[in-house]
Amino acid sequence: MRKKTYHHGDLKNALVTAGEEILNEGSVEALSLRQVAKRAGVSHSAPYAHFADREALFAAISAVGFEALYTRLNETLQAFQGDPAKALVEIALTYINFALERPMRFQLMFSGIVKDENKYPDLVIATHRTFALIENQAIAAQDIGLLRKGESDILALSLWSLVHGFVCLYMEGQISTGILNKGEVKKIVVALLSQVTLKPISL
Amino acid sequence: MRKKTYHHGDLKNALVTAGEEILNEGSVEALSLRQVAKRAGVSHSAPYAHFADREALFAAISAVGFEALYTRLNETLQAFQGDPAKALVEIALTYINFALERPMRFQLMFSGIVKDENKYPDLVIATHRTFALIENQAIAAQDIGLLRKGESDILALSLWSLVHGFVCLYMEGQISTGILNKGEVKKIVVALLSQVTLKPISL
DNA sequence: GCCTTAACTTGACAGCGTCAAGTTAGTATT
DNA sequence: AATACTAACTTGACGCTGTCAAGTTAAGGC
């Protein structure tokens, strides 16, 4: 890039990208304003021209993460649109893979580090879009008799809670080895989802 | 207590208690070794006589939290032992109330701040006991035909994931107002659990 | 009564978030 | 084109943090 100029030109995005890099490499505790600034090649106070405080940067990184999650889920939905049962499983797996690929990003997105997400409308929009996607898929699964009829928002919340709770517990190492020895994650996820379906899930 | 003596006498527990107080009052970020030491009336380095580092203190607080959670769940189980269906709902509510009463403690326990819980056997034991409790209750619910037959560990994991995921999303503010307007938390939890039961849950 | 040693204090260091004040350079105005 | 304005960035400082080294206290075993 151009380090010669006094003005960076695209510092805001560079800071977010640098933050994502740090998250990929280390822990969320290593994600500091000063490290992000250093990585972007600017002084330790430069971020304050673009972010009010540490939390604002974290919210921006989080928002990008939610965008990426929505995109991934949507791609999965498109790919398996013809088969709602398979799509249900694949969407769950996409969600889980998204979390496991970059656990620190997922942790930043969901572990309450960003206190008041109402201050960051991007976050709210992205999460609502994601929930709407899950709900639509739940309705499609209802229509083919895979999931029981009823309020689709409650059903969607059940699915999201089930998958989200599983991946949280999994990443925390809370899931006993007895279960993990049953096979790969996919098999466990199918077994979990089978608890809410009306008929067996065929793969 | 006695602040007159040079030796505190019960500093280790005092530090954990002080940490819990800070968690009750503020956020998990306000939980620092120095603040905990100040609250216990000792110097800023005193904690190092009892805890190897910051993470060790956090793990100790977390372990006490898991003990408390297990105790609460067990009390609930005893109280509703005669009615497995009601017990299932009440155990879920106890779990959720435990989280909502002191969100920062719950966050500390589950948000991955304690990296390597294998270093802290107390944590592992407490979580395994908790899971065993849930599994036993799941088996009891299977026996009365409330939950479908099958591997009880997968069933228990489903229940735990469902409830844990819900409370995580709820505390994060991710659950849409449309759902929250459906009524109090208890009603929503019953609706969620009803997704996995074979027959309606009677209250 | 002495000695060992665990428990605690003091002091220091680097890294952190944040703010104030100064500097640069791009943009708009005339 | 010269000037003024202003956003972007730097420098320096403050108090906070975790952590370690060295010194101090006092409790327990001999």
Q: What is the mean pLDDT of residues B50-56?
A: 96
Confidence of residue A4 (pLDDT cuts 50, 70, 90): low
Percentage with pLDDT > 90 across chain A: 76
State how far the Cα of B164 lies from the Cα of A177, in Å rounded to an integer: 19
Confidence of residue A182 (pLDDT cuts 50, 70, 90): confident
Closest by CA to A57, choosing from A98, A93, A11, A26, is: A11
Distance B54 CA to C15 C1' (A): 16
Token pair 């499609």 is at which residue? A140
Return phi, psi of residue A147, to 5°: -115, 150
Q: Say yes or no for a CB contact (<8 Å) between A154 and B196.
A: no
pLDDT of residue B203 exceeding 80: no
Q: What is the mean pLDDT of residues B102-122?
A: 84
Predicted pLDDT of residue B1: 37
Residue nearest C17, CA–C1′ metric: A54
Confidence of residue A173 (pLDDT cuts 50, 70, 90): confident
Predicted pLDDT of residue A139: 96
Residue nearest D12, CA–C1′ metric: A45
Question: Residues A50-95: pLDDT tens digits?
Answer: 999 999 999 999 999 999 999 999 999 999 999 999 999 999 999 9
CA distance A154 to chain B (A): 7
Alpha helices for chain A (secondary structure H): 11-25, 33-40, 54-79, 84-101, 103-110, 121-143, 152-171, 177-180, 185-193
Asked whether strand D has any atom less than 7 Å from the CB of A1, the reply is no
Q: What six digits make up the tokens of B140?
A: 């009891």
How high is the mean pLDDT of chain A? 92
Which residues of the protein are close to the nucleic strand C, CB under 7 angstroms? A 5-7, 32-35, 44-45, 48, 53-55; B 6-9, 11, 37, 42-46, 48-50
Q: What is the mean pLDDT of residues B172-194?
A: 92
B45 or A127, which is more confident: B45
**Is A72 within 8 Å of A94 (Cβ atoms)?**
yes
Interface of B with A in 91-150 (CB under 8 A): 103, 107, 110-112, 115, 117-118, 127-128, 131, 148
Confidence of residue A2 (pLDDT cuts 50, 70, 90): very low
Q: What is the mean pLDDT of residues A161-189?
A: 92
Strand C positions within 7 A of protein Cβ atoms: 6-12, 15-21, 24-26
Which residues 66-85 of B interface with strand D at a CB distance below 7 A? Answer: none
Strand D positions within 7 A of protein Cβ atoms: 7-13, 16-22, 25-27
Residue type, B24: N
Residue type, A150: G
Confidence of residue B173 (pLDDT cuts 50, 70, 90): confident
pLDDT of residue B191 exceeding 50: yes
**Is A14 within 8 Å of A64 (Cβ atoms)?**
no
How high is the mean pLDDT of chain B? 92
Choose among B155, B163, B179: nearest Cβ to A157. B179
Tell me how far the alpha carbon of residue B11 is from its chain's centroid: 25
**pTM confidence score:** 0.94
Q: Is B183 left (phi over 0), alpha (psi -120 to 50) or beta?
A: left
Predicted pLDDT of residue A1: 37
Residue type, B13: N
Work out the burial of residue B121: count CB atoms within 10 Å of its CB; fewer than 13 is exposed, 13-18 middle, 19 or more buried.
exposed
Predicted pLDDT of residue B2: 42
Percentage with pLDDT > 70 across chain B: 98
Q: What six digits make up the tokens of B10?
A: 């019960």
pLDDT of residue B9 exceeding 60: yes
Mention every residue, 6+ apart, whose C-beta is less than 8 A from residue A10. Answer: none
Q: Which nucleotide across the nucleic acid strands is nearest to A43, CA versus C1'?
A: D10
Q: Which nucleotide across the nucleic acid strands is nearest to B5, CA versus C1'?
A: D26
A171 contacts chain B (CB < 8 A): yes
Q: Which nucleotide across the nucleic acid strands is nearest to B7, CA versus C1'?
A: C7
Closest by CA to B70, choosing from B19, B21, B128, B13, is: B128
Token pair 């990208």 is at which residue? A17
B178 or B162, which is more confident: B162
- DSSP states of A83-98 as a string? -HHHHHHHHHHHHHHH
Predicted pLDDT of residue B8: 80
Q: Say yes or no for a CB contact (<8 Å) between B195 and A192.
A: no
CA distance from start to end of chain A:
48
Q: Which of A161, A198, A201 is most worth mutating to test chain B (most B CB atoms within 10 A of its CB)?
A: A161
Return phi, psi of residue A19, to 5°: -60, -40
Q: Say yes or no for a CB contact (<8 Å) between B174 and A131.
A: yes
